[in-house]
Every structure is written in structure tokens, then in C-alpha cells.
């Protein structure tokens, strides 16, 4: 990322015909300064290649439900989950007695990481009381749940 940033700085300065210097901080603590006009070519060595870029999207291998954040929360919290494959997903919030408070999401989603925000309201839009709530994410036949705390 730093290398890309340096290249963008160089290209931008050439495009607008302005004079800039490139300062390079060395490991020994010294600094070397070059005028951008004097630089003809920049090469980088010891680069790491990715052999199979097509497999990068397959990072999610199992259905996971992460802890909401922030927790405790007021007035809203984010629920993050990961899907290994495209599936029908349902995200719901229940009170400590198991009564449905709100269905946040019900739709088909593609594989990968997803998040939803619960605003601390019930299905009819009323603010819920402080307390412990359970959020559950159903993906296909699997259901995962965790607890969260709303503090007012």
C-alpha cells in the first residue's frame, strides 16, 4: 500500500508539473531526498506473489456468528456473521424468555461476511427496555445465537 501511495504521489506531481521532493527514511535513521524531476524509474524487489488469486474469496469455510459490537450498547449495535455459501438467512432478536422481539433480516445472501444493525426497537418500532437479549442467525438448517446487553 505504501508503494502504491508513493507511485501515486509521483504520477500526480508529474501530471500537474509541480516540483516535489521524495524523502526516503533509511533503517539507519538517515534520510535521502530526491527531486521528483530527477527520478526516471522506481523498482521494488522482494515482492510476494499470490499464486491462486481465484481462491481468495473462499476465506469463509464455516458458518460463524461473531459477538455484537458494541456490547453493552445504547441505542444500537452491529451483528456480524459469516456465510460459507449462499443461503437463506434470518436474523432475529429475542428477549431473555425466548419471545421474539424483532426480525431484523430475512433474505437470501451470498457467501462472505455480512452485518446488520439492530436499533434497539421491537417489531412495532417501540424502544425496548434495558436488559439481556439474544440474537440468533439462521443460515439454511443451522442456527447460532449469542447474548447482548442493552443499557439505557
The answer on 83 and 39 residing in a single domain is no
Reading the block at residue 111, the C-alpha cell is: 457467501
In a domain, 53, yes or no: no
Residue 108 contacts residue 89 (beta carbons within 8 Å): yes
| Domain of residue 62, residue span | 58-150
Q: Which of the four pLDDT bands, split at 50, 70 and 90, describes residue 31? A: confident
The answer on 63 and 28 residing in a single domain is no
Mean pLDDT check: name the lowest of 38-52, 100-114, 137-151: 38-52
The answer on 124 and 98 residing in a single domain is yes
Question: Count of domains in the chain?
Answer: 2
Q: Which of the four pLDDT bands, split at 50, 70 and 90, describes residue 1? A: low
pTM: 0.62
Mean pLDDT of 90-102: 97
Residue 97 burial by Cβ neighbours in a 10 Å radius (0-12, 13-18, 19+): exposed
Amino acid at each position: 500500500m505504501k508503494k502504491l501511495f508513493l507511485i501515486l504521489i509521483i504520477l500526480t506531481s508529474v501530471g500537474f508539473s509541480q516540483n516535489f521532493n521524495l524523502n526516503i527514511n533509511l533503517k539507519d535513521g538517515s534520510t535521502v531526498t530526491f527531486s521528483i524531476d530527477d527520478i526516471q524509474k522506481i523498482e521494488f524487489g522482494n515482492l510476494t506473489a499470490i499464486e491462486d488469486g481465484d481462491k481468495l474469496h473462499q476465506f469463509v469455510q464455516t458458518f460463524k456468528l461473531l459477538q455484537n459490537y458494541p456490547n453493552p450498547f445504547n441505542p444500537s449495535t452491529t451483528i456480524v456473521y459469516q456465510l460459507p455459501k449462499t443461503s437463506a438467512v434470518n436474523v432475529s432478536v429475542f428477549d431473555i424468555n425466548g419471545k421474539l422481539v424483532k426480525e431484523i433480516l430475512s433474505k437470501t445472501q451470498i457467501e462472505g461476511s455480512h452485518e446488520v444493525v439492530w436499533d434497539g426497537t421491537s417489531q412495532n418500532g417501540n424502544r425496548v427496555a434495558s436488559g439481556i437479549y439474544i440474537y440468533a442467525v439462521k443460515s439454511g438448517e443451522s442456527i447460532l445465537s449469542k447474548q447482548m446487553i442493552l443499557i439505557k
